[in-house]
């Protein structure tokens, strides 16, 4: 009886593990999301970056060895006003001057542009938090 109990516990554990490991591998993500290498849906680098299986992936499999953008950390420096002028940005989006836009210089931006297509740059549509003496804004 004791041997049967151990065997049934092992079988139960294996079934649980197979469900956990296999969970999410066949993702059916909404059109605006990416399917990560682990089979989960999302819109951040973990989902749309290296290993992305389907959706609006930032990097193709052949580009997955490309340097990935820094996604967190503290950076210090000065910023200035950026006038959008209602035209398209390098990312292919349009904004008004009432929106806060962060801009990078060409060398910083271009190193994350796959095959010269800036609309697929992994830095596009990111949000940052800027802290200053009078508060912070996202």
CATH H superfamily, domain 31-66: Endochitinase-like (3.30.60.10)
Burial pattern 20-54, b for ≥16 Cβ within 10 A else e, equals: eeeeeeebebeeebbbbeeebbbeebbbbbbbbbe
Q: Are 124 and 104 in contact (CB under 8 A)?
A: no
Give yes or no for residue 42 having a pLDDT over 80. yes
Average pLDDT over residues 75-94: 71
The β-bridge partners of 136 are 131
Domain segments of the chain as ranges: 31-66, 75-138
For residue range 53-63, list pLDDT tens digits in order.
777 777 544 44
pLDDT confidence band for 81 (50 / 70 / 90) = low
> Tell me, what DSSP letter sits at residue 12?
H
For residue range 3-20, list pLDDT tens digits in order.
544 444 443 333 333 333
Q: Are 35 and 41 in contact (CB under 8 A)?
A: yes
Unique residue bearing structure tokens 């065997």:
7
What's residue 137's pLDDT? 72
Whole-prediction pTM:
0.37
Unique residue bearing structure tokens 């996202």:
138
Q: Are 96 and 84 in contact (CB under 8 A)?
A: yes
The β-bridge partners of 130 are 137
């Amino acid at each position: 009886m004791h041997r049967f109990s151990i065997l049934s516990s092992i079988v139960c554990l294996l079934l649980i593990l197979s469900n956990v490991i296999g969970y999410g591998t066949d993702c059916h993500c909404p059109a605006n999301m990416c399917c990560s290498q682990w089979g989960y849906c999302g819109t951040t680098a973990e989902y749309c970056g290296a290993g992305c299986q389907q959706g609006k992936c930032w990097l193709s499999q052949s580009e997955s060895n490309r340097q990935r953008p820094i996604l967190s950390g503290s950076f210090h420096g000065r910023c200035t006003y950026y006038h959008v002028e209602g035209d398209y940005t390098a990312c292919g989006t349009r904004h008004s001057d009432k929106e806060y836009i962060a801009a990078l210089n060409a060398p910083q931006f271009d190193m994350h542009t796959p095959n010269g297509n800036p609309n697929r740059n992994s830095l596009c549509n990111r949000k940052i938090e800027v802290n200053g003496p009078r508060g912070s804004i996202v």
